[in-house]
Amino acid sequence: MKKLLKYFINGLLTILPIVLAVYMIYKIFGFLDSILGNLLKDVLKEDYIPGIGLFTTLVLITLLGWMSTQYVSGKIFSLIDRLLEKTPFVKTIYSVIKDTIHSLFGEKRSFSKVVLIEYPELNLKSVGFVTTEDVSSLSDELADHVAVYIPQTFQIAGFTFLVPKNKIKILDIKPEDAMKFLLSGGVATK
């Protein structure tokens, strides 16, 4: 009976990550396909092919990226950007989203340095990511500090600490490996 239970648990441990990964990919595909897919279904009717909404969305995003580099359309996007950054309340939401996306996917990426910070009074350590090297714009007192983001397990949330530069230790770990380790609650290691 114990062997049977062991085989069952091994089967669960084998199949569950596969099923969950396939399910997540399916859901993400469905969401991305539905962005324009629902509109295209009405137009194409029986000629609609699943995935054409996703393909059209990717083409439009690429086209927008190209247009943003052209003079006239780039000026229009720049005008919209300035308008959103000057509109009360909207500017707060817009700037946070814009800065976060640029830090993750832009040329100057945050989350590229994995660091270790210590809580000596508790004899604890935590792994985090340097998100901003210079936080002196917040206050002159923070000239020798960096912003370190410490994600919470299983969530897209976390804490941002302002840590003295001499109190962090840069770790030789790939950011992807560190993020996997942190988001899994320390379960996922190499």
> What are the tens digits of pLDDT across the range 75-104?
898 899 899 888 888 888 888 788 777 776
| pLDDT of res. 154 | 64
**18 and 99 housed in the same domain:** yes
Residue 135 lies in a domain: yes
**133 and 96 housed in the same domain:** no
| pLDDT of res. 121 | 83
Residue 189 lies in a domain: no
Contact 50, 33 (CB under 8 A): yes
| pLDDT of res. 190 | 61
**Boundary residue ending a domain (105, 122, 151):** 105
Residue 188 lies in a domain: no
The whole-angstrom separation of Cα 165 and Cα 10 is 45
**Boundary residue ending a domain (63, 81, 105):** 105
The whole-angstrom separation of Cα 116 and Cα 146 is 13
| pLDDT of res. 12 | 85
Residue 59 lies in a domain: yes
| pLDDT of res. 106 | 66
What domain range includes position 165? Answer: 113-183
| pLDDT of res. 104 | 67
| pLDDT of res. 65 | 87
The whole-angstrom separation of Cα 32 and Cα 38 is 11
| pLDDT of res. 23 | 93
Q: Which alpha helices (H) appear in 69-109, and where do they start and end?
A: 71-86, 90-105
Low-confidence residues of the chain, pLDDT below 50?
none
Residue 36 lies in a domain: yes
| pLDDT of res. 62 | 92
Residue 190 lies in a domain: no
| pLDDT of res. 162 | 85
| Residue 179 CB contacts under 8 Å (≥ 6 apart), including other chains | 111, 129, 151
| pLDDT of res. 78 | 87
